[in-house]
Amino acid sequence: MTCPLCLEQKAELFDQDKYRKYWKCHACGLIFVARDQLLSDQDEKKRYDSHQNSESDPGYRAYLTKLALLAEPFLNKGESGLDYGCGRTLVLEEILKERGFVVSSFDLYYYPDSELLSKKYDFIILSEVIEHLREPRETMIFLRGLLNPGGRFLIKTKPAPESVGEFSNWFYKRDLTHVQFFNENSFDELARLCQLQSPHYLGEDIFLFKE
């Protein structure tokens, strides 16, 4: 089984449930679902449509405000950013604009403005996105090319448990739109791939990648 991140053919079966199998790469540590077991685009979209996130939900706004507050010390006022995979709302964009940043939002299903993917940014945020990417290697290399010199990735995702027992009972893998799960080793591989430093943990499952 070929790893979708490092492309090494060193993955072995790690876990399985009634829905799918999970493979672990012995080269980079990524745990992933085989690409022939992914949801169709239509079924994936239905899953996202069922999410209850709303601009008027104070809890959702508070959740994204935490992300903005943790990221802010590593950004400069007036910098340009992209919220990649923003989902159905523009809440994070609004919060960051209120705090003095110039931010755009892109989402494959809800805000598919391809012109945004031809511009350059000082930072790119992937908030609970990287675990959904069908082609993580290709997508992250492409996004790296959108960063200005000194640019940063801010990635929010839950790190995978190391043991099979913990992983088997982990709620995060039950979302069928989550197709890979990172740990320290696979994040280091991602940093190498993007020619960035190993990530700095900011808290709240947020990781900063910078030059």
In sign, the C-alpha dihedral spanning 167, 183, 7, 209 is positive
Examine residue 144 and state whether it is found in any structural domain, yes or no.
yes
Examine residue 4 and state whether it is found in any structural domain, yes or no.
no
**Cross-strand partners of 24:** 12, 31
For the chain, how many structural domains are there in total?
Answer: 1
Instruction: Please say whether the beta carbons of 64 and 53 come within 8 A.
Output: no
Tokens found for residue 143: 């996004």
Q: What is the CATH number of the domain that holds 158?
A: 3.40.50.150
Q: How far apart are the first and last CA of the chain?
A: 31
Compute φ and ψ for 201, nearest 5 degrees.
-80, 125
Instruction: Please say whether the beta carbons of 91 and 61 come within 8 A.
Output: yes
Examine residue 192 and state whether it is found in any structural domain, yes or no.
yes
Examine residue 106 and state whether it is found in any structural domain, yes or no.
yes
Q: Which residues of the chain fall below pLDDT 50?
A: none
Q: What is the pLDDT of residue 85?
A: 98
Q: What is the pLDDT of residue 195?
A: 98
How far apart, in whole angstroms, are the C-alpha atoms of residue 111 and residue 32?
27
Examine residue 24 and state whether it is found in any structural domain, yes or no.
no
Tokens found for residue 26: 């012995």
The predicted-structure confidence for 42-55, as pLDDT tens digits, reads as follows: 999 999 999 877 78
Examine residue 28 and state whether it is found in any structural domain, yes or no.
no
Examine residue 39 and state whether it is found in any structural domain, yes or no.
no
Instruction: Please say whether the beta carbons of 34 and 21 come within 8 A.
Output: yes
Instruction: Please say whether the beta carbons of 208 and 152 come within 8 A.
Output: yes
113: containing domain: 51-162+174-210
Q: What is the pLDDT of residue 60?
A: 93
